[in-house]
Structure 1
Amino acid sequence: MRRKYRQAMTTTIATTTAPPRVRKLVGAGRRQWIGLLYVAPAVALVMVFFVIPLGMTAWMSLHNWPLMGEHSFIGLDNYVAILRDTRFWNALKFTGYYTVIVTIAIFAIAFPLAIFIEKPRPLTNLYRTFFFMPAVVGFASASLLWSWLLNVDSGLFSPAAYDLGLIDKKFNLLATFQPAFWSIIAMVVWKVAGFTMIILMTGLQSIPQDLQEAAVIDGAGPFARFRAITLPLMRRTLALALILSVAGSILAFDQFYIILRGGPRNQTLTAVYWIFNQSFVSFKLGYGAALSMVLLVILVALSLIQLWLLRKPEGLD
């Protein structure tokens, strides 16, 4: 009887202690499924709008794919043709030149603005809103606006300068390369500098004020504090702003298509503009896909540079 009683007690204890462990495992599994459900929409969006189109583009780049008619597999012939496409390499060269110039111009305007609005002062919020407002305008809308502003007859700049007596006759800013190029630079800086300013302002606000005050006590001037404190502590912020500016500049299309149409004399053809021309003007979708893959490799290389910059330790030397 005692043996049976002990066995019954052991069975009872086992049955009372097992359910909590089971409930714990079931709860953990349920939380994992809930987590997967939360990320499922994001994964679906990435698959639908990035992975599948990327795979389709890579597949199309291996084909002679006209807009109308049957497509045929040609292997790497499109990529071989890219090596002989002088127009594409000239467009890529111009894109690189434009990227360097516009990036320098954006930072030259955005950094002083960020320093100006970073400190609390009267009307600071008004200044921030005023400088940031152009960033909310789409590039297509901004390009249409500046296309009107730059119009030689009904625009603002040339007719106003003529009416004020600053020039003898109306001057077409889009007729030759240099005025047209710098007009585009001015438009992009007006459009993007406010966004870059906000990014840089957040980096400036993250710098401990104690370091600045200690440097002032030690006799460091504004330039010395900027070089020894501000720049080292803003390394990651600068890397982020730089990679966004460079990537956006390499993918530039709207402003050159709407305002200049690649002119004057095809001197402002960007890489994306040439891809658009080959894909939807010449209807060579396979070749356009190959050009897109080459541009993708360039952007991936820039992303790797960004990761390398972000992994470097941030702090004072």
Structure 2
Amino acid sequence: MTMSGIAFPSLHHRKRKRSGWRGLLYIAPAMALVTVFFVLPVLFTVWMSLHKWPLLGKPAWIGFGNYVRMVSDARFMAALGFTAHYTIIVTIAIFALAFPLAMFVEKPRPLVSAYRTIIFLPVVVGLASASLLWVWLANVDSGLFAPLMQRLGLTNGRINLLADFDTAFLTIIVMVVWKIAGFTMIILLTGLQAIPAELTEAARIDGARRWQRFRYLTLPLMRRTMALALILSVTGSILAFDQFYIMTSGGPQNRMISVVYYIFNQSFVSFNLGYGAALSIALLAILVTISIFQLWLLNVGDERP
């Protein structure tokens, strides 16, 4: 609207501007928390990573020296390889159990609510507490696993499951699957319940068998839910620390040192805070890459105008 050649902002424009400022005011507390507890610590970690930063003494600027050291650090590469190996195996194991469980508790049946509760119960136990529980269960003298395996004829005598790499690794995998599968099941169950029953019924009436309905109907419609569960599982596995620290202390023969465990050792055992900060930034870059892949995975196949 104009008057004598002078333009005035419309009432609608002024309302939109006030609404925008009001929205910023509403999110200001969250932005402040993110800035204080995430952005600033990350920036400070980046600054630390560019220094030789001992626990005691004056930090010394070394530029990208810590990152150059990282590339030639055989122990870090070994930790990265072990973490990738662990992540692949535990993710496959979790999905192999969680998906059938989700399909089982998704159908109406007697006591289905009780089944869901029982399966989900381990999730509410803290990972550190679960690790301590399984350390006791695997104890040769007072635990339950060693005498049970002996009575079943699986072993000639009582063995320490956490003393050998293979048995210790298998024990940790089983513990993590027991602890996490219920959470993944709930995510997958949400996706299954979001599939319209009319589509499944129409496919059944058209003669599609159970496997065909699963392959061509359930899986495509579950793509986004499965991608979310996959990324959460992979991210959590990459950040694994408690189970290795509590159950094996990185052993046997330091073969169970994950990336986070190695960062912990460098930062708080060897007191190489600068190098630990550089390792943390490298791990953050890996997680950001996975997040970008998640966004692509969630959007792939969408119809574009």
TM-score with structure 1 length normalisation? Answer: 0.88
1:121 aligns with 2:109: yes
Aligned to 1:67: 55
Relative to structure 1, the CA distance from residue 211 to residue 26 in structure 2 (aligned partners, 3 Å threshold; closer, same or farther) is closer
Which of 141, 144, 155 is the aligned partner of 1:156? 144
Aligned to 1:76: 64
Could you give the per-residue CA deviations for residues 41-88 of structure 1, whole angstroms, max 9, x where no partner exists? Answer: 211111111101110110000000011111010001101111110000
Q: Which runs of 5+ in 1 are unaligned?
A: 1-13, 15-20
Q: Is the 8 A contact 1:235 1:314 kept in 2?
A: no
Aligned-partner Cα distance in 2 for 1:312–1:79: 34
Which of 79, 94, 119 is the aligned partner of 1:131? 119
Tell me the C-alpha RMSD between the 2 structures: 1.8
Q: Which runs of 5+ in 2 are unaligned?
A: 4-9
Q: Secondary structure at the match of 2:133?
A: helix
1:56 aligns with 2:44: yes
Aligned-partner Cα distance in 2 for 1:94–1:182: 14
Aligned-partner Cα distance in 2 for 1:255–1:212: 41
Could you give the per-residue CA deviations for residues 136-163 of structure 1, whole angstroms, max 9, x where no partner exists? Answer: 1111111111111111111111133346
Could you give the per-residue CA deviations for residues 162-219 of structure 1, whole angstroms, max 9, x where no partner exists? Answer: 4676644211101111100010000000010000000000111111111111111122
1:283 aligns with 2:284: no
Aligned-partner Cα distance in 2 for 1:256–1:129: 28
Q: Is the 8 A contact 1:62 1:78 kept in 2?
A: yes
Which of 99, 105, 117 is the aligned partner of 1:111? 99
Aligned-partner Cα distance in 1 for 2:154–2:236: 35
Relative to structure 1, the CA distance from residue 126 to residue 203 in structure 2 (aligned partners, 3 Å threshold; closer, same or farther) is same
Identical-pair percentage: 64
Q: Secondary structure at the match of 2:240?
A: coil
Aligned-partner Cα distance in 2 for 1:227–1:25: 51
Q: Secondary structure at the match of 2:214?
A: helix
Q: Which amino acid aligns with 1:158?
A: A
Aligned-partner Cα distance in 1 for 2:228–2:266: 32
Q: Is the 8 A contact 1:162 1:170 kept in 2?
A: yes
- Aligned ranges 1:1-317 → 2 under 5 Å: 30-162=18-150, 167-313=155-301
Relative to structure 1, the CA distance from residue 226 to residue 258 in structure 2 (aligned partners, 3 Å threshold; closer, same or farther) is same
Larger radius of gyration: 1
Q: Which amino acid aligns with 1:306?
A: Q
TM-score with structure 2 length normalisation? Answer: 0.92
Aligned-partner Cα distance in 1 for 2:89–2:98: 14
